[in-house]
Amino acid sequence: MRDGLGPVRVRLRGGAVLAELTTRFGAAARAKVLAGEVVDADGAVIDAATVLPAGASVYLYRELPDEVPVPFDIPVLYRDADIVVVDKPHFLATMPRGRHVAQTALVRLRRELGLPELSPAHRLDRLTAGVLLLTARRESRGTYQTLFARGLVRKTYLARAAVDPALTLPRLVRSRIVKRRGHLQAVSEPGVPNAETLIELQDRNGLYRLTPRTGRTHQLRVHMASLGLPIAGDPLYPNVIDVPADDFSTPLRLLAQRIEFDDPRTGRRREFVSRRGLDAV
């Protein structure tokens, strides 16, 4: 781990490592090899003469992209030897992906808390705020990730959207949601449903309680938009809106307000609640 980030693993096609990395990743990768900054699975330094078979792996640290700082704190709601629960702000991705690397909840928390083995047990969309649980130790990681993967965590979200008096609520929305690589939007397609959300109107001002029973990418946003009630501040649904990277003025009005589960290590009932207001950044 280096400043909150682990190395990138590259699986090789086989042959001279310097030539392959240069062909695949350009001059920056070549410079890393020549500077002795690339190692194999045993930690041996790769040099200009190193030849490795197909399927072997090498490790190097990526060059960080220029990122716009996300100007919001990440309050810790709870922390013990196994887990850290935080109140993630809007606009901050859960973990490194694409152009968001250092400005992610995972990397920032590793640095701020001094926990190099910190890892998310689940994910929240970059634009969604609220309760996020991370594991503090490698030994705890699988236990809590499995809890979320098996659907054993009850999640409650709050959202703001328009009100349609003709729409009967509460309503259980079920559909098949697919998110394809390279596409910003997830889409609903014909087929066996893989996403299910209970949608309830809490007040006449357009406050909704959303209870997902599955965890597909953008599920809540897709389901609300499918009812003609896109969540306020959503730049993707129903239409894609280009928002500058440094514009934090219009958050998505979606909050992961609460999670509840039986702790697999202690057997105790756990409940964590966001302290954020839905209408505040």
Task: Report whether pLDDT(240) > 80.
Answer: yes
Q: At 281, is the pLDDT very low, low, confident or very high (cuts 50, 70, 90)? A: low
* Nearest of 213, 170, 171, 221 to residue 195 by alpha carbon: 213
Task: Report whether pLDDT(160) > 90.
Answer: yes
pLDDT digits (tens, 9 = 90+) for 57-94: 999 987 777 899 999 999 999 999 999 999 999 999 99
The pLDDT value given to residue 3: 75
pLDDT digits (tens, 9 = 90+) for 2-53: 778 888 899 999 999 999 999 999 998 999 999 999 999 999 999 999 999 9
pLDDT digits (tens, 9 = 90+) for 89-130: 999 999 998 788 899 999 999 999 999 999 999 999 999 999
Task: Report whether pLDDT(185) > 60.
Answer: yes
The pLDDT value given to residue 8: 87
Kindly name the residue from 3, 66, 80, 125 that is annotated as catalytic.
125
Q: What is the mean predicted confidence (pLDDT) over 156-163?
A: 98
pLDDT digits (tens, 9 = 90+) for 213-239: 999 999 999 999 999 999 999 999 999
Annotation marks residue 203 as catalytic: no
3-class SS of residue 32: helix
The answer to whether 142 and 166 are in contact (CB under 8 A) is: no
Sign of the C-alpha dihedral, residues 36, 39, 44, 46? negative
The pLDDT value given to residue 139: 95
The pLDDT value given to residue 99: 82
The pLDDT value given to residue 280: 62
- In whole angstroms, what is the distance from residue 182 CA to residue 160 CA? 28
Between strands 207-212 and 254-262, the pairing is: unpaired
The pLDDT value given to residue 137: 95
- DSSP-assigned states of every residue in 57-117: EEEEPPPPPP---------EEEE-SSEEEEEEPTT-BSS-BTTBSSSBHHHHHHHHHT-TT
Q: What is the mean predicted confidence (pLDDT) over 130-136?
A: 98
The answer to whether 61 and 7 are in contact (CB under 8 A) is: yes
Secondary structure of 155-179 in HEC code, one letter for each residue: EEEEEECCCCCCCCCCEEEEEEEEC
